[in-house]
Amino acid sequence: MYQEIINKIKPELDNVLSFLDRELAKIRTSRVSTALVEDIMIDYHGEKLPLKKVASISISFPRTITIQPWEKSILLGIERTILASNLGINPSLKGDIIEILLPPPTEEYRNNILRNVGEKLEMVRQSVRRWREEAWRQIQEGFRQGKIREDDKFRAKDELQELVDEYNKKIEERGASKKKEIME
């Protein structure tokens, strides 16, 4: 019985890690990534779509993101939307494409990014703790109802903590990797 409860939260914890991966990919480091702009919502014929659905996005030079819309008519809209985003980047039109030249990050910018990464890591850790508390609540409820024996309850607590420790380790590894990227 307790194993089912623990197995039910594993996919949720995987979702938490996936969320963290997506959020960390959006953070600009010294390496250029298309993830910086691909989820910006663009007005496309009255509908809001992510940029990656209306344009080809690539890295053309070490610090340059190139955006080539599939329809020329939305070129200016994409440029305005990127300018209005809070990313602090300036796109420039070059014929049928938009180029974004990203300067190397300043020390102040790096410190702000590190703080942002720390906040995201803490948010994800809190989510993992909430899932642990929920699973523990269900285990205790099963014990009170007589569905889980007392020794299984304590075994479940240990297994649950091992699982949480495993995911916390993965979170820390991802955070350390991102911080290393930022400082390069």
Contact in structure between 67 and 57 (CB atoms under 8 Å): yes
Of 91, 81, 95, 97, whose CA–CA distance to 39 is shortest?
Answer: 81
Whether 120 shows a pLDDT value over 80: the answer reads: yes
pLDDT band (50, 70, 90) for residue 30? low
Buried b or exposed e, range 55-86, using 16+ CB within 10 angstroms: bebeeeeeeebbbebeeeebbeebbebbeeee
Contact in structure between 37 and 57 (CB atoms under 8 Å): yes
Q: What is the pLDDT of residues 89-106, one digit of tens each?
A: 888 898 899 998 887 778
Mean pLDDT over 143-162 rounds to 92
Architecture of domain 34-101: 2-Layer Sandwich (3.30)
For residue 38 the two structure tokens come to 């691909």
Of 65, 63, 59, 30, whose CA–CA distance to 181 is shortest?
Answer: 30
Q: How many CB atoms lie within 10 A of CB 9?
A: 21
Q: How many CB atoms lie within 10 A of CB 123?
A: 13
Residue 130, φ and ψ in degrees, nearest 5: -65, -40
Whether 155 shows a pLDDT value over 70: the answer reads: yes
Identify the pLDDT of residue 69: 93
Whether 86 shows a pLDDT value over 80: the answer reads: no
Average pLDDT, the chain: 89
Contact in structure between 23 and 35 (CB atoms under 8 Å): no
Question: Domain 2-26+106-183 has what CATH class?
Answer: mainly alpha
Please report, for the chain, the start and end positions of each structural domain, with discontinuous segments joined by +: 2-26+106-183, 34-101
Q: What is the pLDDT of residues 48-80, one digit of tens each?
A: 989 999 999 999 887 889 999 999 888 888 998
Mean pLDDT over 11-23 rounds to 93
Mean pLDDT over 159-178 rounds to 94
Please report where in the chains the tokens 């007392």 appear, as a residue: 150
Identify the pLDDT of residue 34: 84
The DSSP output letter for 152 is: H
Q: Helices (H) and strands (E) in the chain — how many of each? A: 4, 6
